[in-house]
Amino acid sequence: MARIELKDINKSFGEHQAVKGLDMTIEDGELLVLLGPSGCGKSTTMNMIAGLEDASSGQILFNGRDVTDIAPFERNVAMVFQSSLLYPHLTARKNIRMSLKRTKLSSAEIDKRVEDAATTVDVTHLLDKFPAHLSGGERQRVATAKAIVRQPDCFLLDEPLSALDAALRLSLRSELVNLQKRLHTTMIFVTHDQVEAMTMGDRIGVMRDGRLEQIGSPTDIYNEPQTLFVAGFVGAPPMNFFDGAIEETATGKVFANADMRVPLTGSAAELDPRARVVLAIRPHLMELCEEGPESVPLKVYAIEQLGNEAIVVCDGPNDNRIRVVVAPGYSAQIGSTIHARFNADVAHFFDPATERVIPKLTKAAA
């Protein structure tokens, strides 16, 4: 319904620059998740797309039409706010109707649309309640009904699930995705929860300090993090990092620091030697082993049993916290030293100065 383009958007509040030179395109019918920690500019970006805030500079295009200076309502977007904000003094029905109040639709038509929207998200029985008497999940559904009743070009959702408990979030998450796919409406979803982002988004835009760090499909983001930040922010349990250097030795290139020497194999072998590098490896790509020349010494800190697997949390070299996914039921003395190893071919390498990935020539296998 709408293809949204952001061109070199900047936004500052006084001295503070909230969004810096943002370029981004959201395809028609796509569900884009804006992910990032609080204060990263993701909500500001969404507000600018909605028209709630004016961009300091840059352009916003809806289907090629410049809407930068157009009021929110004219952009035909619908928005669900944090904690599913509703008018507290109006019933659910009136809240939903408010979305159509400024349209020229006839009253009968509005009634029909409200019924349809309510049915779509299954809130028909809640229509005459006040927001204060709705549970968090119910409120979220009503807010969604209020959004879809507009039949907007674009849905904007600003952390609508953040105030709910985990189980409810899980079910509402899939409901929202299902709804978006059925309606096939462009949706932008802002969250700071990477699991939410991974599970919902067609694409994820990771933001930090007002900049777009990386945008891509969840798989890309997960497997090909372009920056140290993305690597650390996305994925659970989080990525392990080792500081060290790439050295040229007689037997080939190795990643080395005081405690470990890992030979670089596969695509990693093509990296150039450099004095400072950060190696990143997913916890489940590491395995425990006997002490050996390629193993990494780790001091057990805690063991988390997840049922289908277990995670050993350890203190690694340079005081980095290192996690290793192991078989369920694993046990070890806290404080004891264990060893693990990994294949450098599937590791990522980052330049600590630029925090960007050091490209390998060939793609690592997933």
Partner 1 sequence: MTRKRFSIWLILAVAVALLWTFLPMYWTIKYAFMTKTEIASFPPLSFPPAPQLASFFNIFGFDYTLPDGTVIPASGQARQVMLGLRNSMIVSVIVTTITMVVVLPVAYVFARLEFTAKGKLLAAILLSVSLPPVSTLIPFYAVYVQLGLVGTITGLVIVTLTITIPIVVWMLIGFFRNLPPIEQLARIDGFSRLYTFTRIIVPMARSGVLVASVIAFLFAWNEYVYAQVLVTGSQAVTLPAAMSGFLFQVPEPAHLAASLLVSLLPPFFIAFFLQRHIAEMNLV
Partner 2 sequence: MNGSSARPSRSSEPTPHGAPKPRRELSDLQFALVVTVPVLLFLVVVVAYPLGYALYMSFHDIRFFGGYSAEFIGGENYAGVLSDSAFWGALWLTIRFTIVTVLLGLLIGLGLAIVLRDLPPGWKWLRALIILPWAVSPYGTGIFFAYLGRGQTGFGTAFANALGIDEAINFISAQWVIEYLAFGNAWNMAPLVAFFLLANMLTIPKRLYHLAALDRMNRFEQFWNVTLPPLRFTLFVFSCILTVLALKTFDFIFTQTQGGPGNASSVLTYLIYRISFVNLNLGYGAAMSFFLLALILGLTGALFFFWGRKVSR
Site residues (CB under 8 A) for partner 1?
Answer: 47, 50-52, 71-74, 77-79, 81, 83, 85-89, 98-99, 101-102
Which among partner 2, partner 1, none contacts residue 189 (Cβ within 5 to 8 A by kind)?
none
As measured in angstroms, the least distance from the Cβ of 67 to partner 2 is 8
**130/23 Cα distance (integer angstroms):** 41
**123/131 Cα distance (integer angstroms):** 12
74 part of the interface to partner 2, by CB under 8 A: yes
363 part of the interface to partner 2, by CB under 8 A: no
Of the ranges 145-153, 242-250, 303-311, 317-325, which one interacts with partner 2 (CB under 8 A)? Answer: 145-153
Strand, coil or helix: 313 = strand
As measured in angstroms, the least distance from the Cβ of 28 to partner 1 is 21
Comparison of 101 and 363: residue with beta carbon closer to partner 2: 101
Comparison of 183 and 310: residue with beta carbon closer to partner 1: 183
Nearest of 213, 208, 79 to residue 146 by alpha carbon: 79
Nearest of 143, 189, 135, 187 to residue 165 by alpha carbon: 135
Strand, coil or helix: 318 = helix
Give Cα 318 distance to the centre of its chain: 28
Residue 343 DSSP label = -
Of the ranges 29-37, 60-68, 140-148, 227-235, which one interacts with partner 2 (CB under 8 A)? Answer: 60-68
Instruction: State which of residues 68, 83, 257, 265 lies at the interface with partner 2 (CB under 8 A).
Output: 68
**Cβ-defined contacts of 177-183 (< 8 Å, 24+):** 177/31, 179/120, 179/121, 179/144, 179/148, 180/31, 180/155, 183/148
From residue 105 to residue 134, the character string flagging contacts with partner 2 as x (rule: CB under 8 A) and all else as - is x-----------------------------
For the chain, the residue count is 366
Binding residues for partner 2 (CB under 8 A) = 1, 62-71, 73-74, 76, 100, 102-105, 150-151, 153
